[in-house]
Every structure is written in C-alpha cells, then in structure tokens.
Amino acid sequence: MTDPISDMIARIKNAQNIQKAKVFVPHSKFKENFAKVLVTLDFIDSFKKVTRAKRMFLVLTLKYQNERPAISDIIRISKPGRRYYISTKEISKLTRGYTRLVISTPKGLMNDMDAKKTGLGGEVICRVW
C-alpha cells in the first residue's frame, strides 16, 4: 500500500455509506493522531486500539446525526506524489464555511483552528466537512 492515509479515508467513507457503527483500520501512530483530530473536530465518536491476530488495529466508532453521517465528505489534499503546504495566513482561504482541515505541523497533527491559533503552517493532510 503506497498511501495508508488514503486507505483510512476510503475505509471511513465506505463504512459510512453502508451505515456501519465501527470500522477497523490498521494501526500506526500517524493514523492514531489523525483519529484524535477527528474526535476533537466531532466527526467521529471515539477510537480505541485493539489487537487481532498479533496485529494492532484502530477501531473507529463513527458518528451519525439523524441517520446521516457526521462526515459529509473527506478529501485527501496532500498526496505522496504531490505534497501541499500552507502558511498560517493561507489557512482561512481554504476553510470556507463548515470545512475543516487536518494539518501536519512541526508540533504534530492539528486542525485548522488550532494551527492558526498557534501560528503554525504545515502540510494539509485532508479537508473534512
């Protein structure tokens, strides 16, 4: 697999399309931090680490509001073949309305609001709304 974050995003989208309550994702520290950001943005309910057949997985509990997924859409912005970086000043240009960004900063993964407050830019991982 060349892009594990895109795989995680696809698993979340597919699970929400069939209204599953939980989705299993292979564990990595980056994916765990990504899930933490999604929880703080209130797009998923919770996550936990589990071991199955000697492998670590993240179990994401998906969130629904009135039988509709909390995540309307999630789009990968920065890809392995084309990285996309922004400064603090450019953050508000990308977040139109209810859109939120997940940004990889020198201090770890953050949402767009936290990155702007701390004055950090970085690599835009994805856009969520």
Interval 3-21: pLDDT, tens: 999 999 999 999 999 999 9
Structure confidence at residue 94 (pLDDT)? 74
3-state secondary structure of 36: helix
Residue carrying the six token digits 């209130």: 42
Interval 78-114: pLDDT, tens: 999 999 999 999 988 777 777 899 999 999 999 999 9
Q: Where in the chain is CATH 3.30.1490.10?
A: 74-128
Helices (H), the chain: 4-17, 29-40, 91-94, 112-118
3-state secondary structure of 48: strand
Q: Is residue 79 within 8 Å of 2, Cβ to Cβ?
A: no
Task: Encode 51-71 in three state secondary structure.
Answer: EECCEEEEEEEECEECCEECC
Q: Where in the chain is CATH 3.30.1370.30?
A: 4-69
What is the CATH topology of the domain spanning 74-128?
Dna Ligase; domain 1 (3.30.1490)
Interval 32-64: pLDDT, tens: 999 999 999 999 999 999 999 999 999 999 999
Report the CATH architecture of 4-69.
2-Layer Sandwich (3.30)
Intra-chain end-to-end CA distance of the chain, in Å: 26
Quick one: average pLDDT of 66-88?
Answer: 93
Structure confidence at residue 92 (pLDDT)? 81
